Structure formats: C-alpha cells, structure tokens
Structure 1
Amino acid sequence: MPNYIKSAAPKPHARPLSTSVPAIVKGVIDDIRSNGDAAVRQYSEKFDKWSPVSFKLSEEEIKDIISRVPEQTIKDIKEVQENVRKFAIAQRKSISDIEIEIQPGVHLGHKNLPISSVGAYIPGGRYPLLASAHMTILTAKTAGVSYVVGCTPPILGEIPSSTVAAMYLAGADEIFILGGVQAVAAMAIGTETMRKVDFIAGPGNAFVAEAKKQMFGDIGIDLFAGPTEVLIVADEAADPFTIATDLLSQAEHGPDTPAVLITTSEDIGRKTIEIVDTLLTRLPTAELAGESWRTFGEVAIVGDLTEAYALADEYSSEHVQILTKRPREALEKMRNYGALFLGEKTCVSFGDKVIGTNHVLPTRKAARYTGGLWVGKFLKTVTYQEVTSQEASGRLGKLCGRAARAENFEGHARSGDLRDHLATGSEYEWIK
C-alpha cells in the first residue's frame, strides 16, 4: 500500500456555477439553433464583450495580423508545425486500407476516409494556446480533411495575433475570432455565416467541454476533456528539483490540475515537497500553480517500481513522466496513460508545445479506454463487400436463410433465398 506524505485536500463542494453549467450551455445552444448569427453575436457580446462587423477574418485581415507577429515567433511556429506534421504523416502512413478474399469469390475490405469537415476550437482565456492550432488544424489537414474552420476567442478584447498565425500556417480554411459555447454551437449547428461541420476538436473550459458534450451525436468530437493532469514516477536516482519544476509546469494550467508524484524514495518525495514550496515563492504563475498543488497535489511512497507502475495505472493520468534509471521499462509495465514522457531529458512541456506528438489527451481516467487526438480520429474506417462468384452467392444465400430464420427475420431469409435461387435454380414457395 502506498504511503502518502502529501495528500490531495478533501474535495471542495461544487461551486454553485458548476451545477448551472449544463443549463446555461443548453440555453445558448437552443438559442443559436433558433436564431443563428443574431444569437451568436448576442452571446459574444455578453461573454467576451466582442462584436466586430464580422467574426470571420478576411484574407487581408489575416495577412495584416500575421505581419505584426514577431519574426522569431513565426519561425518557431513553422518549426513546431513541421515536427507535428512529420509525426502525423508517419501515423497516417501506418493506417492501411485492406481487402481480402475470405473464400473463393467473396471479397471484404475497408477504406480509411477523411471526415469532410472539421471545426477546431483553439482556447484563449488566461493564455493564448496557439499550440492547439497545430494539434487540431494541422493534424486534420494531414489526415486529408478538405475543410477545417478554426475558432479562437479574443483575449481582453484583442485578436490573439500569434494564435491566428498558427491557425493560418496550420492550414485553416476559415478563421473566426469567436469563443466559448457560441463558437462550438455555431460550428456544430451552422449559421448564416458559419458552415456546419461534422466533427469538433480542441480543448476548452468547462463551458466549451459541456457544449461539445451536448452536441455530441449531432457531430463527432475528439474527447470529453477535463483539467490538465500530470503524474511523475521517480526512483531514488531522480533529481527532486527536476521533479518539482515539472510538476509545477503543469500545475500552472489552472487551479484544478492534479499533480502527483509516485516514488520509491521517501527522501526524494520530501525534498520535492520542500522545493515545490520554494519555487512557488518565485514562479510568476504561482497563484494558479499553488492552488492546484495545495488542493490536488499528492506524493505517494511505494515499495518498488512494480508497485509504482501499478499505482500509476490506477490514476490513468493524462501526462505520465518517467524519471527512473530505466525509463523505457514503463513502455512494458504501464497500460493506462494519455502520453508517456521518458527520462530526464524529456518533459511534459515538450509535448504541450514543441516536440510533435499531439497534446489533446484523455483526462479523468479516460486513458483506461482511449488514447488522445491523432490523425486516426479524423478518419472513418468504412467497410465494403463484393461477391463475384455465383456459387459463393448461392452458398451464402443458404447460410443467410438459415441464420435469419433462427432469429425469426423472414425478410432477411428471403433475401438470402433469392441469391440461392439465382445461383442454383432452386424453387421456394414465396418466389413467383
């Protein structure tokens, strides 16, 4: 059993707002469904104090915005996007169409077809998360999606120019400065000026997540996302300063980020706690990171790495960082995680910002049953079948007749009987 030398605080009572989020979101969606652009504008004014002549950026506006982005930022965006593109292309090449002949004259196959249209939500809020443009828009385009619209909110009444640059360079076909529930609903439903999409990807706050949840079914979505999570597995050789730094790097995402250390060394665990407390006196984002650490931070001491990996699998965390002598051992020992980060030279921030793997990942233990966003999420695997042999058609017809009547599906049975009749000339009472 693990020994917790720091435990998460008792779960706070739900804030009054949390119980009203679904109702608020439903009201916005219903209004936009009925009133289109007029409702979108109303909620943009209400929630973001944003009501431009057009939410959609023209080509001229995009070029003007990008011209004001520092040259180094543009170079960095292009370099990061090239990393993302290379990995996404390799993933796409790993997905193959197939066709087999399961018996003479019976051909079965599947094809991987890109979704026709995708909406990408690029969050704003506290930070301009321009990296989300790479992960959603660029990945969809690499999958072969023909139309991708990107939506991102204004930040303090201003257009986030670096985010717009990232969206444009990622290949967005249209860019809207529009955020929140109104953006998700407009993309999912379609309005006079916003084309309806088939799928929406991208992280967001509780309202955005709820909007995606409520629209699921009308459109596809990538994941039901929650707050960012980080978990570090460390042995006695790990550096507590590195552990503390990396825990806080994720805790600054917001006030509700679980930041967990599982270690085989009590000394490492206690030193990490001390260093975290020291770093929080200097970190510019300490207000957010500190709240996450105080409320959701945990440090568990275990007997050995086998126990550490088993406990980490129970957490099923979004980001799992392995700081041990043999980090690749986790590839064999662990099953439940959004993404693994192996060794001291690798950090979760690389995955968030630059390395090329996708940072839209499962949270709230969803890693038990799904991975994160990738090229495959933007593809539909569809099957087809063809029977080219009359003999095979007759044989399957007889089998179908028997199988369908065992389930009392007479119509199905007769469809099979007909193929038997066409192949063999056999007679049935229902055939006239």
Structure 2
Amino acid sequence: MPEHLKSAAPLSASAPADVSETVAQIIADVRRRGDEAVRELSVRFDSWSPARFRLDPDEIADIVAGVPGQVLDDIRTVQANVRAFAEHQRRSLRDFEVETAPGVLLGQRSIPVAAAGAYIPGGRYPLVASAHMTIVTAKVAGVERVAACTPPIRGEIPAATVAAMHLAGADEIYLVGGVQAVAAMALGTESIAPVAMIAGPGNAYVAEAKRQLFGEVGIDLLAGPTEILVIADEYADPFVAAVDLLSQAEHGPDSPAVLITTSRALGEEVLAHIEQILPTMPTRDFAGPAWRDHGQVIVVDDLDEAYRLADEFAFEHVQVLTRQPREALERMRDYGALFLGEGTCVSYGDKVIGTNHTLPTRQGARYTGGLWVGRYLKTVTYQEVVDPQASVELGRLCGRASRVELFEGHARSGDVRAAKYAGDPLPWSAHEWR
C-alpha cells in the first residue's frame, strides 16, 4: 500500500467558467472584426499597437543582428538537434502501395498540411525553445507555410525568440499574442491568412482557445500545467531528485511534481533538500506554491508498484532514477516522455536534447503522444482496381454487404460493375443501361 509522505490538492481538469467565457468572446470578436479586433485586444492585453504586426525581412535581420553571438550559436545547435531527431521520425513514415489481390491496388501517403500556425508563448518566460519544437518540426514534415506568433514582453520585442523563429524557418512572424493570435491564425483576418493546424504551448487562455477552435482548425494537443514524476529507488541521489522536481515546479504555481520511491529514507531526504533549496530559487514565487499545493512524495513497496502507480498518473514527464532505468521502457505504458538515468533530466528535453517538449498533460498520455513530425502530416489512402474480374468480385461482395446494412445505393454501385464486366443481371430496375 503506497504511503504518502506528502500529499497534494487535486487539480481541476477543465478551464474555469470565466476563462472559457472570456476566450469565447475574444474568438467571436476576431471572427467578426478581424484585424480591428486583434489590434484592440493587443492594446488591451499587451499595450502593443505597431503599424503592422508582421515583421518584414529587414526588421527580422535587424533583430537577429542584435542578439548575442553565443545565443545565436546555441539556438542553431539546439535546432540542429531537434531537426536531426525530426528527420529520423520523418524517415520512419513510409509511403507504400500493395496489391492485396490480383488487380487490386491499395496505397498510403503522408501529406503535410498546407499551412501551420506556431504559437510561441511570452509573458514571464520567453519560451524560445518552443520555436524549435513547433517550427522546425513543421518544416521537416514538409509544411509549405508556417505562420508564427509571439507576444511582445512588457512592450519590448523578444529578440531571442524572434531569432529562433526566423532560424527555425518561419515564413511569417507576427508580434501578437494570446487568444487573439490563436484566433487570427485559425480563422484568418485581413492580414493573416488562415492555417490548417495550430501547435504550441500557452497559458490557460491559449489552451482554451485551441480547444474551442478545434474542428475549424487542427491542433497539436490540449496541454495543461507542466508535470514531472520521478521514480527513484534506494540507489538514487536525493539531492538530484529534489533539484529535478523543482526544475519543473517553476513552470507555474499549478505544476504538479511527484516523487515515487521504494525508499522511505530517500523520500525524507528529498523533502529536506527541497525545504533548503526552495527559498534560494529566483523562481520560488512559482515553484513554492506548486510544491506546496501540488507536490507529492509517495513510498511504495517495490518498483513493480512504482511503475503501476506511475502509469496511473500518466504524467507528461517521467524521470527514472533507478539502478536499471531502461527497465521502465518495458514496464511502463502511459507517459509523455521518459528520461532515463541520472545523466538525463527533463530540462534537457525541454530545452536542448532534440526530442519534442510539447507533450500531453492531465492524463492525456493514456491515449496520445506529444508533438512530432507525424502531427503535421495527413495519412491518406488511395485505391485502384485495374482487373475487371477483381471489380466483379468486389461488386458482388459490396452488393451483399451493403444490403445487410440496408444501404441500397451502395449496393447498386457494386451491382453495376458486376453487370458491366461480367453480365450479371441487375437486381433492380434501371432507367437506362448500356
């Protein structure tokens, strides 16, 4: 039976009513008034009203030129990591055509969406890495047009973010944020052409906007607060575990951080380390409430129980600090991403290592993975019957199968081929038959 050394308050699985209502009003306003609404909302929420929201090539060049060289080099290195992994993903998706019966050809193709929107959050944290994850991945998938939006930060242009968006391959860069940016990309305005899908993280309002617009536009996934779960045995370093738990708690005051351990002593040491580390963190105003309200330390009997319990959480990030971390690959099913061993941390996935950091939260890992090349691709099929006799057999089968379901029109499509190619009598009256 699991023992809780520290328990947490439950998180709401849905957006508060006021968030949902505000988002709905903003979307309706953008739908009705287009650019005019976007500009008014930008002034209201970001105090930002430039002559135009889209940056032109000269403006982008000036912004990139002002970014320190080391920052640009690091952006290029990280994007190369993301691009390399995404290219491996793309190569794993193979178009094919098979002859399933003589003269019956069936095929599959992966076609990129025509246009994608990338939302890169700003606010307190300029999430530069989100440009890599959304734009680079879309371009590797073959998306022809990527429109990217990011908000100004306290009235200033986020230069490093713009540089990352440009180096990632964005075709259009707009300095506009929030629900109005998502709505503008999804619906289109006078100055922003609509896209086929939108990807990227954001606050509760951005997430709710994606939820409300889904169907009119595709989305990557619905993400909530960042989550981390650490599985540790008695061989783990409690200081490392404590640091890694807090590394994700700083995302926001509602970010859950959970330790599942087979060692009560280690759990107690982790709690003690966190008490010492938290007051020294510059981000303690976020990390502190997150750990206080949503941090957990759970002691279990063995790793079998640890893996089962971790799957029940189905968290976004699962870090495995055990003697044999790769065992989790075979033992676990429900997670956004695994981080195996002490040499690996969730922050690597968030910022630099190359896998995508846009991952499912709120138990979404039970039914989906995170953002990847395949999310920008439509897997479509095609069929061709080139042998008349094969069409005869399929026509007869189609007639019988369709009439079981009372679909007479479907049945007749099969009937006419059996009649045309094999002379079968039509079981219904035709006005004209040649």
TM-score (norm 2): 0.98
Question: Unaligned stretches of 5+ in structure 2?
Answer: none
Matched with 1:169 is 167
Among candidates 117, 129, 132, match of residue 131 of structure 1: 129
Q: Is 1:3 the equivalent of 2:34?
A: no
Matched with 1:285 is 283
Distance 2:250 2:198 in 1: 26
Distance 1:182 1:11 in 2: 27
**1:407 to partner: Cα distance:** 1.4
Deviations 1:278-309 (A, max 9, x none): 00121111111011000000000000001000
Closer, same or farther: CA 142–10 of 1 in aligned 2, 3 Å = closer
What number of residue pairs does the alignment pair up? 430
5 Å matches for 1:247-326?
Answer: 247-326=245-324
Q: Is 1:157 the equivalent of 2:155?
A: yes
Matched with 2:178 is 180
Is residue 151–residue 178 contact of structure 2 (8 Å, CA) maintained in 1?
Answer: yes
**1:244 to partner: Cα distance:** 0.4
Deviations 1:82-138 (A, max 9, x none): 000000000000001121111111111110000110000000011110100000000
Is residue 222–residue 373 contact of structure 1 (8 Å, CA) maintained in 2?
Answer: yes
5 Å matches for 1:31-70?
Answer: 31-70=29-68
Matched with 1:430 is 429
Percentage identity across paired residues of the two chains: 62
Is residue 9–residue 294 contact of structure 1 (8 Å, CA) maintained in 2?
Answer: no
**1:163 to partner: Cα distance:** 0.2
Q: Is 1:220 the equivalent of 2:227?
A: no
Matched with 2:115 is 117
Is residue 96–residue 107 contact of structure 2 (8 Å, CA) maintained in 1?
Answer: yes
TM-score (norm 1): 0.98
1:6 aligned partner, one-letter code: K
Distance 1:105 1:35 in 2: 54
Q: Is 1:338 the equivalent of 2:328?
A: no
Deviations 1:342-376 (A, max 9, x none): 00000000000000000000000000000000000
Is residue 97–residue 110 contact of structure 1 (8 Å, CA) maintained in 2?
Answer: yes
Distance 2:237 2:397 in 1: 66
2:21 aligned partner, one-letter code: A
Give SS of 1:66's match. Answer: helix
Closer, same or farther: CA 198–290 of 1 in aligned 2, 3 Å = same
Distance 2:296 2:330 in 1: 25
Among candidates 362, 367, 370, match of residue 369 of structure 1: 367
5 Å matches for 1:204-243?
Answer: 204-243=202-241
Question: Unaligned stretches of 5+ in structure 1?
Answer: none
Give SS of 1:298's match. Answer: strand
**1:9 to partner: Cα distance:** 3.5
1:101 aligned partner, one-letter code: E
Distance 1:56 1:10 in 2: 41
Deviations 1:15-48 (A, max 9, x none): xx93211111111111111111000001011111
5 Å matches for 1:186-197?
Answer: 186-197=184-195
1:430 aligned partner, one-letter code: S
Deviations 1:304-358 (A, max 9, x none): 0010000000000000000000000000000000000000000000000000000
Deviations 1:359-402 (A, max 9, x none): 00000000000000000000000010000000001111111111
1:108 aligned partner, one-letter code: L
Is residue 79–residue 136 contact of structure 2 (8 Å, CA) maintained in 1?
Answer: yes
**1:10 to partner: Cα distance:** 6.1
Matched with 2:77 is 79
5 Å matches for 1:411-422?
Answer: 411-422=409-420
Give SS of 1:280's match. Answer: helix
**1:11 to partner: Cα distance:** 5.9
RMSD (CA atoms): 1.3
Distance 2:112 2:104 in 1: 26
Among candidates 373, 380, 383, match of residue 382 of structure 1: 380
Distance 1:94 1:58 in 2: 36
Is residue 13–residue 362 contact of structure 2 (8 Å, CA) maintained in 1?
Answer: no
Runs of 4 or more off by more than 3 Å in structure 1? 9-14
Among candidates 83, 101, 104, match of residue 102 of structure 2: 104
Distance 1:395 1:288 in 2: 67
Distance 2:171 2:13 in 1: 43
